[in-house]
Amino acid sequence: MTPVPATDPLAPPLLDAQGRRMTYLRLSITDRCNFRCTYCSPASWGGKRDLLSPEELARIASLFASMGIRRVRLTGGEPLIRPDILDIARRLSSIPGVRHLAITTNASHLESLAVPLREAGVDQLNLSLDTLSAETFRRISKQGDFDAVLKGIDRAAEAGYGTLKLNVVVMRGVNDGEARTLVDYAHARGITPRFIELMPFGQGVPVPTAELVERLRAEGLPLSPEPEDSGSAADSVTSGPARYWRAPGGRVGFISPLTQNFCGGCNRVRVASNGDLRSCLGGRAQAPLHQLIRGGATDVELARAIRAALGDKPEGHRFTEPGNGATLLSMMGIGG
């Protein structure tokens, strides 16, 4: 376990039990969603009602920024269903030390919010789109407006964001045959597509990244891997788990939690929508930041709780261990 600094627990670096430096905060602001995707949200999921307020979210983000966090990503559920999303974005984008404010969204609200969010300080959007077929969309999610998603993505592409990524969860026999079409769709809009191996949080059968790469090549898409150190120093501080390949139209990303474990370079810490810090996507260890804040905890006390939780962070997730799927929270519950 990494010891809690005796001098100033608020000062960087923020390290986990393996000495990995945490620079990236994934902050869930709701676990409710206007979709019901089979791999993310169980039908019985009711959602938490006691969510963090904009002031509490800003306090948590400020605390993490003082400890070395440089990128904050707002997740859900669907973060854009919160009516105070613009207030939240303005507060977090103005925090000293936060270099990047990003949002992961299903894009259904972006036709009206893409420009206001950009003006509020959001500089990156990850857009979730698993299919270009209305029929397949309905198979994946019984709820949701497919046309609104497509309109929202087009609006986002026009809004001047520094980075746009298209997240595609690949499921065998459902949407794995659309990979090449989705690459072309994304590149035509200046968006980087990223294909994600299905994780064991819900329904469906995953497709290994290596198989998908070979399928794309067989369909005529030349792909060559980027060197892992090809990004800038700033990018390496705030980067996520994707590995990127080059294609004629732009980059193509692959996130491979099952076949190419992404834990070795983990720089991420997660706070769920009720304020529980979770040190690992595949674990249950947590620190109840919400309760501590409402109990009057000082920033030093919060920082010590954060460091203690990260001191229990495992070397890697345990997705593939027999029987572990039954003990995992849903993706909606942990915030992705």
Is 320 flagged in the annotation as binding? no
Would you say 264 and 316 are in contact if contact means Cβ atoms under 8 Å apart? Answer: yes
Backbone angles phi, psi at 179, to 5 degrees: -55, -50
CA-based Rg of the chain, rounded to a whole angstrom?
19
Is 177 flagged in the annotation as binding? no
Is 104 flagged in the annotation as binding? yes
Is 318 flagged in the annotation as binding? no
Is 280 flagged in the annotation as binding? yes
Largest Cα span, the chain: 60
Burial level of 165, CB count in 10 A (0-12/13-18/19+)? Answer: buried
Its sign, for the CA torsion 253, 205, 31, 153, is positive
Is 77 flagged in the annotation as binding? yes
Is 165 flagged in the annotation as binding? yes
Is 332 flagged in the annotation as binding? no
Is 131 flagged in the annotation as binding? no
Is 99 flagged in the annotation as binding? no
Is 26 flagged in the annotation as binding? yes
Would you say 233 and 206 are in contact if contact means Cβ atoms under 8 Å apart? Answer: no
Is 155 flagged in the annotation as binding? no
Is 199 flagged in the annotation as binding? yes
19 backbone φψ class: left, alpha, beta (φ>0; ψ -120 to 50): left
Is 268 flagged in the annotation as binding? yes
Is 266 flagged in the annotation as binding? yes
Binding residues for [4Fe-4S] cluster: 33, 37, 40, 263, 266, 280
Binding residues: 26, 33, 37, 39-40, 73, 77, 104, 128, 165, 199, 263, 266, 268-270, 280
Binding residues for GTP: 26, 73, 104, 165, 268-270
Binding residues for S-adenosyl-L-methionine: 39, 77, 128, 199
